[in-house]
Amino acid sequence: MPDHIVPLERFHEARRVLEGRVHRTPILSSATAGRVLAAQGVRVADGRVYAKAEHLQKTGAFKIRGALNKMQALSAAERKAGVITLSAGNHAQGVALAAHEAGVHAVVMMPTGAVRSKVDACLGYGAEVILFGEHVGETWARMEDVQAERGLTFVPPFDDPWVMAGQGTVGLEILDDLPDVDVVVAGIGGGALCTGTAAAIKETRPGVRVYGVEPERSNALSLALERGEIVPIQPVSVADGLGAPFAGEWTMAMGRRYLDGIVLLDDPTILAGMRFALERMKQLVEPAGAAALAAVLFGKIPIRDGERVCVVFSGGNVEMGRVAELLAGAAPLEVPPAVG
């Protein structure tokens, strides 16, 4: 694959691999979100904003798609040796379940502050969990040592063509279920979901615009694109699922070719998206999963009158004991009353 670009046929191959093994998540819609935009002077098609509900996916996030596709690509020797990955939680769960289904031993590295429910889920799927480091950068360094010591195969959380092809099947499904979509918005951690989705969509329907959303202090991909090189960071955000310590060669190249823009949000704005999803759409979405919706509601995404907009609810793995605290930290968002 030249120039670190995943071709369209790889997304269709991944879709065949995943058929019957992942949920075909629904497209939800919100007229209330449409009213919020109308109050800002933007009227969306059908008066509704749409959401691809990947928080209802197996493991509670889209990550199982890339993990299953990568597991399928491993050699017999690699499967026998076992795999290793690192993650704040959602990718870890995806790899743990994919490895369990394949009969492969999985070692999962997570920061010490990882959400307990995500740790417990990995253990429940049969993975060996190692907690190390205050942030994912420290975890990554230790993961490399463990990988070398045990001869394990690394399953990257984002910078891998098999993983990206799996995540990009989200885009193919959006086009199936919402063929007249004009704008798609997704959160960015390492960037596999957003850039993979963008590639799958734009190679099929080039006129669709795709935007990414990063936390202000977890902006590895936008920094990499701005500077033309990978920039290590120490991500800090309530949206732990968007906390990649750096972008990668694949996500840089794919982001440069396919994304129409990246916007940055502060934590209170992201949490306002989470609050809106719960109060107005009755969907419990984790902060990382709500970032795309928040960007749309707060007018950060350029939307033309009459366009159809779809955001990706990328995950719903929220530590239940923190829900009230997270909602209390949300920025205020004025919601116009319904008419009639």
User: pTM score > 0.85 for this model?
Assistant: yes
**Band of pLDDT at residue 113, cut at 50, 70 and 90:** confident
Task: Provide the pLDDT for residue 340.
Answer: 54
Percent of the chain with pLDDT over 70: 99
Tokens standing for residue 183: 């704008």
Cβ neighbours, 10 Å, residue 227: 9
Residue 89's pLDDT band, with cuts at 50, 70 and 90, is confident
Query: Each residue of 62-93: b (16+ CB within 10 Å) or e?
Result: bbbbbbbbbbbbbeeebbebbbbbbbbbbbbb
Q: What interhelical angle do 249-258 and 161-177 show, nearest 10?
A: 30
Cβ atoms 90, 241 nearer than 8 A: yes
Spatial contact of 105 and 128, defined as CB atoms under 8 Å apart: yes
Given this model, what pLDDT does residue 162 score? 97
Model pLDDT, residue 140: 84
Q: In the predicted model, what is the mean pLDDT of residues 237-264?
A: 95
Is the per-residue pLDDT at 328 higher than 80? yes
In the residue annotation, 63 being an active-site residue is answered as yes
Residues with Cβ within 8 Å of residue 55, at least 6 apart in sequence: 61, 283, 284, 285, 286, 289, 313, 314, 315, 316
Q: Are 331 and 268 in contact (CB under 8 A)?
A: yes
d(Cα 120, Cα 79) in Å, to the nearest integer?
24
Q: Are 290 and 270 in contact (CB under 8 A)?
A: yes
Residue 14 to residue 69: CA distance in whole angstroms? 6
Could you tell me if residue 138 is left (phi over 0), alpha (psi between -120 and 50 degrees) or otherwise beta?
A: alpha
- Rounded to the nearest integer, the mean pLDDT of the chain is 95
Contacts of 314 (CB under 8 A, 6+ apart): 54, 55, 61, 62, 90, 186, 187, 193, 241, 288, 289, 292
pLDDT of 278 reads 98
The per-residue pLDDT for 339 is: 67
Order of strands, sheet of 183-187, starting from the edge strand that comes earlier in the sequence: 27-30, 49-53, 309-313, 183-187, 209-215, 261-265
Structure tokens at 26: 């629904």
Q: pLDDT at position 2, please?
A: 59
pLDDT category of residue 165 using cuts at 50, 70 and 90 = very high
CB 168 within 8 A of CB 136: no
pLDDT digits 0-9 by tens, 282-314: 999 999 999 999 999 999 999 999 999 999 999
Q: How far is CA 227 from CA 66, 173, 218, in A?
A: 28, 33, 16
> From the candidates 52, 58, 63, 70, which is the catalytic residue?
63
pLDDT > 90 fraction of the chain, expressed in percent and rounded: 89
Q: Is 30 a catalytic residue?
A: no
- pLDDT at position 136 over 80: no
Give the containing element (helix H, strand E) for 215.
strand 209-215
Residue 163, pLDDT score: 98
Mean pLDDT of 18-44: 97
∠ at Cα 59 (57, 63), nearest 5°? 75
In this predicted structure, the answer to whether residue 216 has a pLDDT above a threshold of 70 is yes
Name the pLDDT band for 6 (thresholds 50, 70, 90). very high
pLDDT of residue 338: 84
Q: Where are the alpha helices (DSSP H) in the chain?
A: 8-18, 31-39, 63-73, 76-81, 90-102, 116-124, 136-150, 161-177, 192-202, 220-227, 249-258, 267-281, 287-297, 323-328
Residue-level pLDDT at 114:
83
| The residue type at 46 | D
DSSP string over 83-103:
EEEE-SSHHHHHHHHHHHHHT
Phi, psi of 27, rounded to the nearest 5 degrees? -100, 115
DSSP state for residue 299 in the 8-state scheme: T
Please state the φ and ψ torsions of residue 23, each to the nearest 5 degrees: -75, 140
In this prediction, residues 120-138 reach a mean pLDDT of 90
Mean local confidence (pLDDT), 324-334: 96
pLDDT at 41 over 60: yes
pLDDT at 239: 95
Given the residues 30, 222, 237, 314, the one annotated as active site: 314
